[in-house]
């Protein structure tokens, strides 16, 4: 029979292993459960900066929560930092968030960022592009793909023609990417890579190297 001391040592080892795995799996769990959006608001110490951290899909009530948070500072000019980690979401609600951020940018300074180990995919990218300053950790991931009608018109998207998808995707790039200063040559290259329904993945480091003007500066960022 194993001694009590040996049992205690084994149990301690198991608990330590579980703790290590939990820490290493944090971002994986975040990605799995990020369907429920959450906004955290924090005043940066000794500055006029307010950090808004959104984790989850680009879906309601994202715009309302950001609007309510910013409204608290309506009487004074602030620098707002919107930290994003999102798999994407609704085109319609994304457009609402974009309009809100544009309004915020008229009265305040607005920076968007994606931190180390985080993801900004699909409709998250147009939201990210609203930053007057756009930063990201070099390993932050961005994903681009064709506009999907799956949630609205078809169970698997197969009933929508490729031409319709392509036209809607071109409009999305024209509406959000071109006004943000993303070069036409880069857009054409990524659009070609999307052909056939491919997801295009880029790190912040790659976007900067490609002069995409999506991420304007890379730096190591700690989670707020």
Q: Are 153 and 123 in contact, with CB atoms under 8 Å apart? A: no
**Is the bond into 85 cis (omega within 30 degrees of 0)?**
no
Question: What domains are there in the chain, each with its CATH number?
Answer: 27-218 (3.90.226.10)
Tell me what the mean pLDDT of segment 193-210 comes to: 96
Rg (C-alpha) for the chain, rounded Å, is 20
Tell me what the mean pLDDT of segment 36-45 comes to: 91
Tell me what the mean pLDDT of segment 3-22 comes to: 54
pLDDT given at position 15: 53
Strands 79-85 and 119-121: unpaired
137-166 residue pLDDT tens: 999 999 999 998 654 443 454 567 788 889
């Amino acid at each position: 029979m194993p001694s009590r001391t040996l049992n205690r040592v084994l149990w301690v080892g198991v608990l330590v292993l579980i703790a290590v795995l939990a820490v290493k799996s944090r971002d994986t769990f975040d990605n799995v459960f990020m369907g429920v959006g959450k906004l955290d608001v924090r005043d940066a110490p000794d500055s006029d900066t307010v950090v808004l951290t959104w984790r989850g899909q680009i879906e309601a009530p994202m715009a309302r929560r950001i609007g309510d948070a910013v409204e608290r500072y309506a009487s004074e000019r602030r620098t707002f930092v919107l930290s994003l980690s999102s798999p994407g979401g609704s085109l319609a609600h994304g457009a609402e968030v974009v309009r809100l951020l544009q309004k915020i940018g008229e009265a305040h300074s607005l920076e968007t960022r994606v931190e180390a180990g985080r993801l900004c995919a699909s409709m998250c990218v147009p939201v990210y592009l609203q930053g007057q300053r756009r930063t990201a950790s070099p390993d932050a991931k961005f994903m681009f793909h064709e506009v999907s009608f799956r949630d609205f018109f078809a169970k698997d998207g197969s009933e929508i023609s490729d031409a319709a998808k392509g036209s809607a995707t071109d409009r999305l790039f024209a509406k959000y990417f071109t006004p943000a200063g993303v070069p036409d040559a880069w857009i054409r290259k990524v659009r070609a890579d999307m052909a056939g329904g491919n997801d295009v993945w880029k790190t912040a480091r790659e976007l900067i190297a490609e002069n995409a003007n999506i991420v304007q500066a890379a730096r190591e960022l700690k989670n707020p």
